């Protein structure tokens, strides 16, 4: 009986050793993967599928908390730029940069606006801004109001009406632009026609109480044609549109 038990135990040890050796050889074969990673324990198809899903999740950072898509992302005094936000930029005439997804509709709109701009192409004078650039503009505006004998607190509050706090500016998204024209007529044209190209007059004076920003006739924001058309026809601002979704 003791010999039988011993034989069984010995056989079990041999089988365990064989399985361990074959596992080692399988994972080490061709030195396909590194042994330091948990991913090496998964079939290649599973690893690739996981990486693809991770990339899809990273793209979701451009979705709004209200379930909209990237073009409806709300950034204002209460809603900052998402952490780790990334944007693919392309240069427009004049040297400014914008999100590559708005380049074509932006150029179509600017070309169409020539008729209200003495036949000249309106210029994008401010597109995408880095955190550092936004901070610089914000600090300059505060300093300007201080020179006008405003107290420190008053200067900050006044500055916020004209320049967004760094981290809370649509310009840091890449699909908001400030446009400069040869005459004021170009702004009237943009207010009446920008929606056809997916852009909205972002800060009307009548909506300052909602947007928290003084009227900026030069500031246009891409939201897509469907949203832009409804916002224009209803005479509402982006905050109101998103609230109704």
Q: Which two tokens stand for residue 233?
A: 């026809």
- Is 74 exposed, middle or buried, given 0-12, 13-18 or 19+ CB atoms closer than 10 A? middle
Report the Cα–Cα distance between both ends of the chain, in Å, rounded.
79
Taking the alpha carbons of 79, 99, 129, 161 in that order, is the dihedral positive or negative? negative
216 tagged catalytic = yes
Q: Which two tokens stand for residue 226?
A: 């469907």
Please report which helix (H) or strand (E) contains residue 199, including its range: strand 199-203
Please report which helix (H) or strand (E) contains residue 19, including its range: helix 2-28
Catalytic residue among 91, 154, 216, 230: 216
Q: Please give the positions annotated as active site.
A: 216
């Amino acid at each position: 009986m003791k010999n039988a038990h011993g034989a069984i135990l010995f056989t079990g040890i041999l089988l365990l050793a064989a399985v361990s050796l074959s596992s080692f050889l399988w994972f080490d074969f061709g030195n396909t993967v590194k042994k330091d990673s948990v991913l090496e324990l998964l079939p290649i198809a599973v690893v690739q599928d996981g990486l693809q899903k991770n990339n899809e999740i990273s793209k979701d950072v451009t979705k709004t908390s209200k379930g909209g898509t990237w073009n409806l992302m709300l950034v204002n005094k209460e809603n900052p730029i998402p952490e780790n936000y990334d944007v693919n930029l392309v240069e427009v005439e004049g040297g400014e940069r914008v999100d590559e997804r708005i380049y074509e509709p932006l150029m179509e709109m600017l070309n169409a606006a020539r008729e209200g701009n003495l036949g000249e192409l309106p210029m994008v004078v401010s597109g995408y801004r880095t955190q550092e650039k936004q901070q610089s503009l914000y600090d300059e505006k505060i300093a300007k109001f201080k020179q006008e004998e405003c107290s420190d607190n008053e200067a900050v509050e006044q500055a916020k009406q004209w320049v967004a706090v760094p981290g809370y500016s649509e310009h840091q998204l890449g699909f908001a632009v400030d446009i400069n024209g040869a005459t004021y007529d170009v702004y009237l044209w943009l207010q009446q026609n920008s929606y056809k190209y997916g852009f909205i007059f972002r800060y009307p004076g009548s909506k300052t109480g909602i947007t928290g920003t003084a009227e900026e006739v030069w500031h246009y924001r891409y939201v897509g044609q469907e949203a832009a058309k409804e916002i224009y026809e209803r005479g509402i601002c982006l905050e109101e549109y998103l609230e109704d979704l």
